[in-house]
Structure 1
Amino acid sequence: MRRIAAVILLLCLLAGTACGILITEFCPDPYLPRDPDEYLVLEGEGVLDGFVVSDGEGGFRFPPGTQISGRLVVARDGPAFERTHGYPPDFEIEEHTPTMPNVIPNGNLLMANQADELYLYRGTTLLQKVAWPADVHPREGQIHYLEDGVWDPRPLFIGQSRFPAATFEDVAVTAFAAPDCAYEVFGATVASAEREILVNVYEFTDRAMAEGLIRARERGVAVTVLLEGGPVGGIPPEERAVAGALNRSGIPVLMMTTTDVGHAKYRYDHAKYLVVDGNTVLVGSENYKPGGYPAPGLQGNRGWGVCLKDPGLAAYFREVFLFDTGGGDIVPLEGTGGEIHTPWAPSYTVEFAPCRTGGARVTPVLSPDTSHLITRMIEGAEESIAIEQAYIKNQTKYELNPFLAAAINASRRGVTVQVLLDSFWFNIEGDADNDEMVDLINRIAAAEGLPLAARLADLEGNNLAKIHNKGVIVDGRAVLVSSINWNANSPGFNREAGVIIEHPDIAAYYTRVFLDDWEASCAGGAGDVYGVDRLKIVAAACILAGLAALYLYRRGRT
């Protein structure tokens, strides 16, 4: 087959013809002022004689004999493009440096930010047209790209990665739940490091976790920490104190943020994982805070996490880390001195020990790269779906969250769906948050008679600080453990990290944790798994009782 492909390519080149040459990528509205780094990409095989790219007002052709073999980048300003992307384009439209090849312009091709079009001609034959906002929806910093004949199958912005989906077999797994045994597994994982620890976490304010990394550094382990540079509410003083302690021990602390030389790759670096010695990954839903990884016997958040041992899986996450720590949006976080305050927490009775097993099938889930795997997981359910989330936000007033929509559609084909949401004050005091979402889900269930129910977690009854989880269990066989919130932003615009684990023991473990939270919340106003709202039953019973009393009262008067 390779010989046949080579012969076809040679014939194409000799004949001076094109083999599927198309515009496959363009960015009309980059971050630099006045957009000097706007660009487009052609892909294909052949000679570009006779090819013209135009926006209907201006355009360009290529120098005679120009050949394309794969990907060819044309930027308006070559040095500006290189400043943004870290490598030079193949051609520039405007002549800014004598060492860079130029296309042959005809008029002035300037891609407008909000509305324009690109045409690709060969001679007088129109080969391709892409227009915005008709074919793609423009947004500052967004790269529009063609994949399998579809424009923009997922959001992609300048500097972001394009990691493909991958699955790893025969992985050793240690599953854990917060607050019960999260710190136990984290501490053991860090203590096992001999060469390298790479940490990427949204927020880091826990003194004990910092001390574990410092001890690793003292025994010769190379430790690097990446944090979000602009978390909601700003970087707290406790995190600056943690960064200072890590800095003083020789651990570089980096943060992702927009700078003079680079726009932040993601809206938030919201991932929560670490990679140890190129063979172990610890990933979960919790930040490195006292509530996420509390000391044993102290109250904290409900979260899920896993420690995974597999060199291939660890290499995948290590590559993600190295990609994200490159570029002009990564700068040192200068810490401060002083003590790191640890807030008081109530006592907690541990219920769940870690669950260890081997032979698991593990698929990483990255946002925004492979968030679609969550939808695929839910759509593949045949019997049951259990969802435990900090919150669920719909896309718009009239459009359901796509993950939730997939779960509701699953219930319409007979899959039993349970949804448990946090009830901490900041998730129920608004006009469109978790209590309204629970009500909406249960109303849909009641109206359609679906095996679907939602509940608010009873935090006090189960002695939890809050539900911070972002987990899903499907059919008692597969589990999502992740940092991905169910809103419009997290799957498409943040850097998030998670894994789908396929193993019955791991699914059974998290099912026990979920049911413990679910059953403790039965008095919280939610229905059973067949969509019956218990509040409505109580209300109906009260009304019937009142009518009966009125009837007896009137009968007694006659």
Structure 2
Amino acid sequence: MRRIAAVILLLCLLAGTAGGIQIVEFCPDPYQPGDPDEYLVLEGTGILDGYVLSDGEGGYRFPPGTRIDGRLTVARSGPAFEQSHGYLPDFEIEERTPAVPDVIPNGNLLMANRADELLLYRGTTLVQQIAWPGDVCAREGQIHYFEDGAWDPRPLSIGQSRLKPQTFEGVAVTAFVAPDCSYEIFSAAVAEAEREILVNVYEFTDEKMANDLICALDRGVAVTVLLEGGPVGGVSPEGRAVAGALNRSGIPVLSMTTTDAGHAKYRYDHAKYLVIDGSTVLLGSENFKPGGYPAAGLQGNRGWGVLLKDPELTAYFREVFLFDAAGGDIVPLGGTAAELYTPWAPDYTVEFAPCHAEGARVTPVVSPDTSVLILGLIEGAEESIAIEQAYITNETPCDFNPYLAAAIDASRRGVAVRVLLDAAWFNTEGDADNDEMAAIINRLAAAEGLPLEARLADLEANNLDKIHNKGVIVDGTKVLVSSINWNANSPAFNREAGVIVEHPDIAVYYLAVFEDDWDASDRSKASSAPETDRLKIAAAACILAALAGLYLYRRRRT
């Protein structure tokens, strides 16, 4: 019995050593110059006597009797850490402030940015070792964290939220599409607001949408607008004019950008949603621009959107907005006094009215926190997948985009997969864009005999300016409506917002829109992209030959 008891005691001690107190988070390369805010987090329960942290050169231990119950944070500098995170650490390495107790150093533990290691000892026993590169990949501003037995399940940078998947039942949904009926849904939703409108959108250049918000403010609604402070190409003159008009009306316009007080939380704030009165969320693929929300009867983009009514779901998105709209990376955007105007657009014949349904199941998809849910949606397909995207880019020349790879794998198990991509010039004139992507997909389908097909949208046939959608329909029952582009950046580093809606009526509605776009498209354009490239090259050669002949002719004349 004594031997058994001794073995049990030894196993308990080993369990406490190997699986108890451990490093669960660290950031070796924060944004502040000189990295005074670098830190690590221990997790566990017990007395820290005998525990030592080291990088193989220097290290530190804790004051005698220090107890951990849960998480304990150690930073190089308490004030620097507080500036980055908004609260003080439990301990600091360099004595900076009386408010934070100090560890007991032995040499100097400084985590190198690109290559280093962390060692956790209990006495002379090595409990844990983490190396980078190796266990994690180094990146400026990235927080490395341990969850569900793995390091870095998704990229996490300083200041970002840590949302978990959450689903809401019994949601009332109104589905709509651009250009057919997007503006009428937006205008009506804003007109019904009584207390509060929170707006988060990548770009805002639409005159009539700005005026709708100003009218809401005039009747006593509190309106706040958050924009991306550094969109591709910068904030446009039209965007600055809208910001100026909103500011002059009394609506605060904020922007997310890197400042002296804080690094931008996300590479781009690319979300596109409204939160209204704690009861309603309007969300979709389109920016607040004339092409995304055109007046009825005018041409615009193909985009998808939803109006969601549910207090708990709305509270979720309100918390996301309030989190993102706070911090040192949020500053006012003043704008200009330029006059607002709406550019001319061709006429458009409306085909699709909004579709309303009750009792939907809705799961928010918020990048970078829960964008992995898109993989789960595609991987769970049993019969069909319809994908309509502005564009799809591969991760590397050898690796498919993970969402596309999941769709291709689904086709290999018999799921019928269709991919519809934009055909606007800026998505087809390069050497590796939508026409090449469609050709790759179709060649793979032909080579393996898969129920898989890609097409380029025929914009002229459907009188659309471009496909700006980021949507997926699975099994005719589930729909992804979102702002998430299928590239390496959008799911992992941007703030994006979307939802997976589960309701047969809503899925049927979007499938009808997809079928209309699909049927209007020319399959041959997607299948003959290499031939198109050869024609481009031949035409260029003819032009060069003609110019050379003209040059020789003129030389002979002179």
Tell me how far 1:251 sits from its aligned partner: 0.6
Q: Using structure 2 for the length normalisation, give the TM-score.
A: 0.91
Query: Which range is displaced more, 331-340 or 274-283?
Result: 331-340
Tell me how far 1:524 sits from its aligned partner: 4.8
What is the SS of the residue equivalent to 2:488? coil
Could you tell me which amino acid in structure 1 is paired with residue 81 of structure 2?
F
Query: Which range is displaced more, 41-50 or 296-305?
Result: 41-50
1:548 aligned partner: none
Could you tell me which amino acid in structure 2 is paired with residue 366 of structure 1?
V
In 1, Cα distance between the equivalents of 2:469 and 2:185?
17
1:104 aligned partner: 104
Tell me how far 1:307 sits from its aligned partner: 0.2
In 2, Cα distance between the equivalents of 1:190 and 1:223?
10
2:165 aligned partner: 165
In 1, Cα distance between the equivalents of 2:529 and 2:384?
21
1:395 aligned partner: 395
1:442 aligned partner: 442
Could you tell me which amino acid in structure 1 is paired with residue 241 of structure 2?
A
Can you give the 5+ residue segments of structure 1 that lack an aligned partner in the other structure? 1-11, 528-532, 537-558
2:494 aligned partner: 494
The Cα offsets for residues 123-148 of structure 1, whole Å up to 9 and x where unpaired, read as 11111111000100000000000001
In 2, Cα distance between the equivalents of 1:299 and 1:388?
19
Instruction: Answer whether contact 1:18 1:48 (CA < 8 A) is retained.
Output: no
2:547 aligned partner: none
Tell me, yes or no, if structure 1 residue 192 matches structure 2 residue 192: yes
Could you tell me which amino acid in structure 2 is paired with residue 333 of structure 1?
L
Tell me how far 1:523 sits from its aligned partner: 4.8
1:256 aligned partner: 256
1:48 aligned partner: 48
Instruction: Answer whether contact 1:391 1:433 (CA < 8 A) is retained.
Output: yes
The count of aligned residue pairs is 518
Tell me, yes or no, if structure 1 residue 335 matches structure 2 residue 347: no
Instruction: Answer whether contact 1:182 1:305 (CA < 8 A) is retained.
Output: yes
What is the SS of the residue equivalent to 1:525? helix
Instruction: Answer whether contact 2:439 2:529 (CA < 8 A) is retained.
Output: no
In 2, Cα distance between the equivalents of 1:164 and 1:172?
23
In 2, Cα distance between the equivalents of 1:335 and 1:525?
43
2:548 aligned partner: none
Runs of 4+ in 1 over 6 A off after TM superposition: 16-19, 533-536
1:268 aligned partner: 268
2:374 aligned partner: 374
Tell me how far 1:338 sits from its aligned partner: 2.7
Tell me how far 1:249 sits from its aligned partner: 1.2
Tell me how far 1:526 sits from its aligned partner: 3.9
2:73 aligned partner: 73
In 1, Cα distance between the equivalents of 2:190 and 2:529?
46
1:206 aligned partner: 206
In 1, Cα distance between the equivalents of 2:149 and 2:123?
23
Counterparts in 2 of 1:27-46, with a 5 A limit?
27-46=27-46
Could you tell me which amino acid in structure 2 is paired with residue 368 of structure 1?
P
In 2, Cα distance between the equivalents of 1:117 and 1:100?
25
Instruction: Answer whether contact 1:191 1:216 (CA < 8 A) is retained.
Output: yes
What is the SS of the residue equivalent to 2:177? strand
2:421 aligned partner: 421
In 2, Cα distance between the equivalents of 1:107 and 1:213?
59
In 1, Cα distance between the equivalents of 2:317 and 2:156?
20
Tell me how far 1:237 sits from its aligned partner: 0.8
Instruction: Answer whether contact 1:19 1:46 (CA < 8 A) is retained.
Output: no
In 1, Cα distance between the equivalents of 2:338 and 2:266?
31
2:296 aligned partner: 296
Instruction: Answer whether contact 1:525 1:535 (CA < 8 A) is retained.
Output: no
Q: Using structure 1 for the length normalisation, give the TM-score.
A: 0.91
What is the SS of the residue equivalent to 1:410? helix
2:5 aligned partner: none
1:223 aligned partner: 223
Instruction: Answer whether contact 2:436 2:530 (CA < 8 A) is retained.
Output: no
Tell me how far 1:468 sits from its aligned partner: 0.1
Could you tell me which amino acid in structure 2 is paired with residue 477 of structure 1?
T
Could you tell me which amino acid in structure 2 is paired with residue 304 of structure 1?
W
Tell me, yes or no, if structure 1 residue 58 matches structure 2 residue 50: no
In 1, Cα distance between the equivalents of 2:147 and 2:113?
22
Instruction: Answer whether contact 1:453 1:526 (CA < 8 A) is retained.
Output: no
Closer, same or farther in 2 for the Cα pair 1:51/1:197, shift >3 Å? same
Tell me how far 1:342 sits from its aligned partner: 1.3
Tell me how far 1:40 sits from its aligned partner: 0.3
Q: Percent identity among equivalent residues?
A: 77
In 2, Cα distance between the equivalents of 1:315 and 1:194?
16
